[in-house]
Structure 1
């Protein structure tokens, strides 16, 4: 459970960081959003190093599935947009793939 908490927390900070840049450059908001973005992206990178994976590439692959779910959650809760069936089908495939990679590579 700790692993998923780290992955979701990392995803939150990556999305917040990237969204902060989006807000600054696309919505012409304050330059403070750039500072928030940089700090968030540093926290994202740090948190991702704390997951218990032997190889970074495999950890990033699992993270990819978590990121998709987190991005769609951001879409719904922050940007107030509804999911469509393609969002749900695609995210289901991604999270299934992440679980296969995560649990398939655990030592028994």
Structure 2
């Protein structure tokens, strides 16, 4: 599960960077040249999601929990916003959800 978590963290960073760079261009007056690494980052994001063995919907659901936590760390480190107790608890709940989903990979529901 640690390997999966690390891969999700890298995936989240690729997505956040790919979205942040156009934001910096549009809202903060940064160079339009940032769109090139943004596109590469978003392509890497999509590719990284394909490296998981589970069905895509499960990967997206589990990834969402890690994305929430990484986005909050980004908020603190890059945007300089102090996180609240609600942020920390929310990230913990999201990560627990990810762990539950990943723990179930390989188990199928009988139907």
Question: Same fold by TM (over 0.5)?
Answer: yes
Secondary structure at 2:82 match in 1: coil
Distance 2:69 2:53 in 1: 20
Deviations 1:82-101 (A, max 9, x none): 10122112111111111111
Output the CA distance in 2 between the equivalents of 1:83 and 1:106: 36
Q: Secondary structure, in 3 states, of the residue corresponding to 1:90? A: helix
Please tell me whether residue 102 in structure 1 is matched to residue 102 in structure 2.
yes
State the alpha-carbon separation in 2 of the partners of residues 80 and 106 from structure 1.
Answer: 40
- Partners of 1:7 and 1:51 within 8 A in 2: no
* Correspondence for 2:33: 32
Corresponding position: 1:42 with 2:69: no
Within 2, Cα distance between the matches of 1:77 and 1:15?
Answer: 13
Q: Which runs of 5+ in 2 are unaligned?
A: none
- 1:20-75 Cα offsets, whole Å, 9 max, x none, are 0110111111001111111100001101100221x100000000000001101111
Contact 1:21/1:33 (<8 A) preserved? yes
1:7 equivalent in structure 2: 8
Paired residues of 1:11 and 1:67 also in contact (CA < 8 A)? yes
Q: What is the count of residue pairs matched by the alignment?
A: 106
Task: Give the CA RMSD over aligned residues.
Answer: 1.2
Offset, 1:2: 2.1
Unaligned runs of 5+ in 1: none
TM-score by length of 2: 0.89
